[in-house]
């Protein structure tokens, strides 16, 4: 079916105008503003040269990497377990594990306060057991739990989708040849899951780096990059600095997501 370019233009016009006017143009403006401060273009290096910014960057990257690692480990075990073992109630467990998928970051922050805050469950339990109240919601540990909370459902979904496509007979073969359960996991199962794990790990990492709502609810004095940008903008009224930092933040998340997309892309092609 031949379509004129005029018709094509008409189809793409509304979306094109929206993205051009409200995304492309403002982003260019943001990049220019980032270089408009006293230091000019050097503002883009401030993330490495200004100590507070550098520390926030390092804290953000470390936290996100740790969250990604732990989320991958937990989700792989739980995801494969739930795909391989069907028992009464297992479908309910799957639903419970995936329903927090669209909870916003602020709400997750509040849920962590419910768990480990001043009036939280862990505090109450530890007070009755040991007499001292354990409160860690408003620290890096709380933030770690919060990021883990929104990462697990997403990674589990990807792992389960990948695990369903696995060929169980390969594992049976390895086992019949005398491989231990551990060898089956490291030599057969994990290599087969690898593309999916890397892709969902990259998404998890990008989401954690860019997350704002959870940190905002838990504490304003935790220095992760998103909070630094927010303070620069609101308290410092330092527009150039906030702009340059958010451009860097955007580049990091975009790069991580590109990795995820290129991997899942090749994955699809290989499967097809």
Partner 1 sequence: MQRRTYFYAALMLTLVTVGFLVVPVVMSVMAGLTKNFFVGLKSGLTLEWVFRVWELYQDTIWRSMGIALACLAITLIAGVPAAYGLALSKSRWARIFEETLILPVAVPGLAIALALIQTYGGFREFRMSWAFILVGHVLYTLPFMVRSVLAVLSSIPLNEYEEAAASLGANKRRRFFDIVVPNAMPGIMAGSLMVVTLSIGEFNLSWMLHTPLTKTLPVGLADSYASMRLEVASAYTLVFFIMIVPLLIAMQKFGQTGTARKPTQH
| Residue 37 found at the interface with partner 1 (CB under 8 A) | no
Q: Rounded distance, CA 162 to CA 4, Å?
A: 41
Judged by CB under 8 A, the chain residues 196 through 225 that form the site for partner 1 are 203, 206-207, 209-214, 216-217
Structure tokens at 61: 């990257």
Give least dist CB 51 to partner 1, A. 22
Least distance (Å) between residue 191 CB and partner 1: 19
Q: Is residue 230 a contact residue for partner 1 (CB under 8 A)? A: yes
| 149 scored as a contact of partner 1 (CB under 8 A) | yes
Site for partner 1 in 66-105 (CB under 8 A): 74, 77-78, 80-82, 85, 93, 95-105
Least Cβ distance, residue 36 to partner 1 (angstroms):
10
Using the minimum distance from each CB to partner 1, give the nearer residue, 6 or 51.
Answer: 6
Query: Is 241 exposed, middle or buried (CB count within 10 Å of its CB: 0-12, 13-18, 19+)?
Result: buried
**Long-range contacts (CB closer than 8 Å, 24 or more residues apart) made by 231-238:** 238/37
Rule CB under 8 A: which of 154-183 touch partner 1? 154, 157, 180-181
> Could you say which residues in the range 104-133 bind partner 1, by CB under 8 A?
104-115, 119, 121
The verdict on 44 binding partner 1 (CB under 8 A) reads no
- What is the distance between the alpha carbons of residues 161 and 174, in angstroms, rounded to a whole number? 23
Nearest to 223 by CA among 100, 140, 118, 119: 140
Return the residue of 47, 174, 242, 263 that touches partner 1, per CB under 8 A: 242
Return the sign of the alpha-carbon dihedral for residues 139, 144, 148, 150. positive
Residue 23 binding partner 1, by CB under 8 A: yes
- Rg (Cα) of the chain, in Å, rounded? 23
Contact call for residues 59 and 223 (beta carbons, < 8 A): yes
| Residue 134 backbone dihedrals phi, psi, to 5 degrees | -95, 115
* Cβ-based neighbour number of residue 45 at 10 Å: 13
- Shortest distance, position 46 Cβ to partner 1, whole Å: 16
Least Å distance between CB 105 and partner 1? 4
Q: Does 150 bind partner 1 (CB under 8 A)?
A: yes
Give whichever of 12 and 41 is closer to partner 1, judged by the CB atom.
12
139 binds partner 1 (CB under 8 A): no
Residue 253 interacting with partner 1 (CB under 8 A)? yes
Task: Read off the tokens for 193.
Answer: 């899951």
Q: How far is the CB of 181 from partner 1 (least distance, A)?
A: 5
Count of residues touching partner 1 (by CB under 8 A): 87
Q: Using CA atoms, how far apart are residues 239 and 236, in angstroms rounded to an integer?
A: 8
- Sign of the CA dihedral 247, 103, 96, 120? positive
Least Å distance between CB 226 and partner 1?
6
């Amino acid at each position: 079916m031949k379509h004129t370019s005029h018709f094509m233009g008409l189809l793409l016009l509304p979306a094109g105008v929206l993205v051009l006017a409200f995304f492309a143009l403002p982003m260019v403006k943001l990049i220019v503003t980032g270089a408009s401060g006293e230091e000019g273009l050097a503002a883009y290096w401030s993330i490495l040269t200004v100590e507070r910014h550098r520390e926030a960057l390092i804290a953000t990257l470390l936290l996100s990497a740790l969250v990604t690692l732990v989320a991958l480990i937990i989700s792989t075990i739980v995801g494969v377990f739930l795909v391989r073992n069907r028992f009464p109630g297992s479908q309910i467990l799957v639903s419970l594990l995936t329903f927090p998928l669209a909870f916003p970051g602020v709400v997750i922050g509040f849920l962590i306060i419910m768990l480990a805050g001043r009036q939280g469950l862990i505090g109450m339990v530890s007070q009755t057991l040991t007499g001292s109240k354990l409160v860690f919601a408003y620290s890096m540990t709380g933030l770690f739990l919060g990021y883990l909370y929104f990462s697990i459902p997403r990674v589990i979904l990807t792992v389960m989708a990948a695990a369903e496509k696995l060929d169980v007979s390969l594992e049976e073969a390895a086992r019949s040849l005398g491989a231990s359960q551990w060898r089956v996991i490291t030599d057969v199962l994990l290599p087969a899951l690898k593309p999916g794990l890397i892709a969902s790990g990259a998404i998890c990492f990008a989401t954690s780096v860019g997350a704002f709502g959870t940190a905002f609810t838990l504490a304003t004095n935790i220095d992760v990059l998103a909070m630094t940008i927010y303070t620069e903008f609101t308290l410092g009224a330092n527009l150039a600095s906030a702009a340059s930092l958010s451009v860097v933040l955007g580049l990091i998340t975009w790069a991580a997501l590109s990795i995820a997309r290129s991997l899942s892309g090749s994955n699809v092609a290989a499967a097809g």
